[in-house]
Chains A and B, each alone.
Chain A
Amino acid sequence: MGNSFRALFKKDCRMLVSGKFFLMAIGFLALYTAYVDLGYIRFMQMPPYNVYLYDPAGTQTERSPLVQTVSSMEAMDAALLSDANGVGLDASTGEVRVVLYEGAEHVDRHRADYALSLLELSASPAPEVLGTNTPEQKARKEITCEMLFFELTAVGFLGIAAVLFKEKGIGVIRVHAILPLRKDLFILSKLTVFLLSDLVFAILLTLLNVGSAEGAAVLPVVLLQTAILSLMMALVGLLCALLLKDLRQFTLAYLVIAIFAATPVFLSANTSVKFDWINWHPFYHVYMGLKNAYFGTAISPVYYAGAAGAIVLLFLAVQLAFRREIGKEG
């Protein structure tokens, strides 16, 4: 059994190398890291809205350095015209008047309150800060979690399906039907290759983007969550590749899974949008498991039991589909 598994594992690695899968993974890692360091973190540190103040008499002495002064109302109009999300504060009449282009009502209120708060720094209440993460750490963990989730659900899923479609297309799956090996090893070997590659990817992505000390601290739980998601997605990818006829059908399934399954999860987990049915969405729990791992929040044993059950069920379904595939006509 050991020899058979070694042979399958070696062959699967070679297929991934020849398919340039590892190169692609390294490319994605570089891309994600560049995006986090050069784009996302800088973007998150920027003020939410630019605030322009017209105060010819200099009445606003306590203003924040984030407030940009303009020399006239015409200059403010010009600034708001080129930055429609910006907020203008007109203090020329003694009282401060908020000037802005209209958007959604609740957003406009937030913009106005934010702008006014920058003029009264001492009056702003100091909130009690929960958690130990700095804003940058929080931003880094959030974006790393999202990228890892995306990589595992979309890219990894596509990778394993592509490998299996290739083997299905050239018919070699049928040769394995008459080889003296346990048929589940064929599936296990692929799962192992993709799991290991996903784990290495998760380690590098976490250490590079969360930081070595912070990253190492959360890594054990992150790797456990990565393993759960990786196995699930690899099994779903295998199942799709075995059940669907060709890559065209698979592309449709891929779109359904990647867009319609992942989008509500991202919305519910990262914004104030909450769907009533989101608790029934399996990926929501997996995503939250990964997010909780990054933020060191406790994860329910019920979730682990559910994940283990899902993996076992998916594995059995893949085995069944694999048996069906190898018995097909040539």
Chain B
Amino acid sequence: MIEVKDLTFSYSKDKQALHGLDFTVEDGEIFGFLGPNGSGKSTTQKILTGILQGYGGKVSLFGRDISNLHEQEFFQKIGVLFEFPYLYADLSAVDNLNYFASFYPKEQRRDVGELLDALEFKPDFLKKPVSSYSKGMRQRVSMARALVNDPRLLFLDEPTSGLDPSGAVLFRKIIEQERKKGTTVFVTTHNMVDADLLCDRVAFISNGNLVALDTPKRLKEKNSDHRVVIDYLYQGQRESKTIEAPELEAGIPFAHDEIISIHSQEPTLEDVFIQYTGRGLS
């Protein structure tokens, strides 16, 4: 679906934002693009969404070089959720969505009411102006806007930002549903929980360089020190021991009466990111 080869971009002569990125995103994959502020995530997404021109290297989407894609046709196939909910504040959710939907062919448009219903939008607010909505409600309308054309390729920038935990769970469910339909999803985020739970593969970008690309599971495994912490009871005393995981193959290698818990010391995705880049994600 997406093929990026040696992608470079400079905002000015002395400000190179991207230093030769290489990655591919398969059809129907949820691909996470993680990086701290100013790392080149947004620049990459803008190039992929056809907003930024003048890049170096090769970018192919839908099997065709992006510079040769017919603009209208290309934008009909993609959906973009921006980091901020860009909506007309004086219009209602329904009016906003009807307006944005009107730029797509009729047969491609999804039902606005059904979309908002799926996103658990409060029905009382359907006709009220967006200016009266909470951040979470605006984010729901924005998500509906990104999905209104039933896109084949969905770009999501911080999809769960501004949502409460149940809203974040709902959004992840919606994204999963989209993937099941065959939609490819490109997620840029700071949120490691989203990346870990949603993404088939994640790429770490730092200072315009791709420093790692793999499944979240493998990235964590590769960077794990393979230790486990065992809490146990022995002669009425509660104790804790850290051992190498392979030692467990032959059973618990120390005397004990009762095992209380065994915890692997697997790093979080954020730990792995810091290991690769030396920087946190905030």
Decide yes or no whether A175 CB sits under 8 A from chain B.
yes
Decide yes or no whether B89 CB sits under 8 A from chain A.
yes
Interface size class of B (residues with CB under 8 A): 20 to 34
Instruction: Decide: A172 near B87, CB < 8 A? Known: A177-B51, A326-B51, A330-B82.
Output: yes
Q: How far is the CA of A201 from the CA of B75 in the complex (A)?
A: 38
Q: Distance (Å) between the CB of B75 and the closest chain A CB?
A: 4
CB neighbours (8 Å) of B83 from chain A are 330
Decide yes or no whether A181 CB sits under 8 A from chain B.
yes
Tell me the nearest residue of chain A to B79, going by C-beta.
Answer: A178
Tell me the nearest residue of chain A to B78, going by C-beta.
Answer: A178
CB neighbours (8 Å) of A326 from chain B are 51
Decide yes or no whether B145 CB sits under 8 A from chain A.
yes
Name the contact of A327 in the complex, choosing from B46, B72, B82 (C-beta under 8 A): B46
Decide yes or no whether A138 CB sits under 8 A from chain B.
no
Interfacial residues of chain B within 90-140, with CB under 8 A of chain A in the complex = 90-91, 99-100, 102-104
Instruction: Decide: A18 near B75, CB < 8 A? Known: A181-B103, A327-B46.
Output: no
Tell me the nearest residue of chain B to A330, going by C-beta.
Answer: B83
Decide yes or no whether B86 CB sits under 8 A from chain A.
yes
Q: Judge whether B88 and A11 touch: CB under 8 Å.
A: yes
Decide yes or no whether B84 CB sits under 8 A from chain A.
yes
CB neighbours (8 Å) of A105 from chain B are none
Decide yes or no whether A47 CB sits under 8 A from chain B.
no
Q: Judge whether A170 and B89 touch: CB under 8 Å.
A: yes
**Interface flags, A97-139, vs B, CB<8A=1, else 0:** 0000000000000000000000000000000000000000000
Decide yes or no whether B191 CB sits under 8 A from chain A.
no
CB neighbours (8 Å) of B76 from chain A are 180
Q: Judge whether A4 and B103 touch: CB under 8 Å.
A: yes
Q: How far is the CA of A3 from the CA of B105 in the complex (A)?
A: 10
Instruction: Decide: A170 near B51, CB < 8 A? Known: A3-B102, A179-B103.
Output: no
Interfacial residues of chain A within 254-300, with CB under 8 A of chain B in the complex = none
Decide yes or no whether B169 CB sits under 8 A from chain A.
no
CB neighbours (8 Å) of B60 from chain A are none
Q: Judge whether B51 and A18 touch: CB under 8 Å.
A: no
Q: Judge whether A180 and B90 touch: CB under 8 Å.
A: no
Name the contact of A180 in the complex, choosing from B49, B73, B91 (C-beta under 8 A): B73
Decide yes or no whether A81 CB sits under 8 A from chain B.
no
Q: How far is the CA of A172 from the CA of B78 in the complex (A)?
A: 17
**Interface flags, B204-225, vs A, CB<8A=1, else 0:** 0000000000000000000000
Q: Can you list 22 contacts pairing A with B, beta carbon distance less than 8 Å?
A: A3-B103, A4-B103, A6-B102, A7-B102, A10-B99, A11-B88, A14-B90, A18-B90, A170-B86, A171-B82, A171-B84, A172-B86, A175-B82, A177-B51, A178-B50, A178-B80, A180-B75, A180-B76, A180-B104, A182-B72, A327-B51, A330-B157
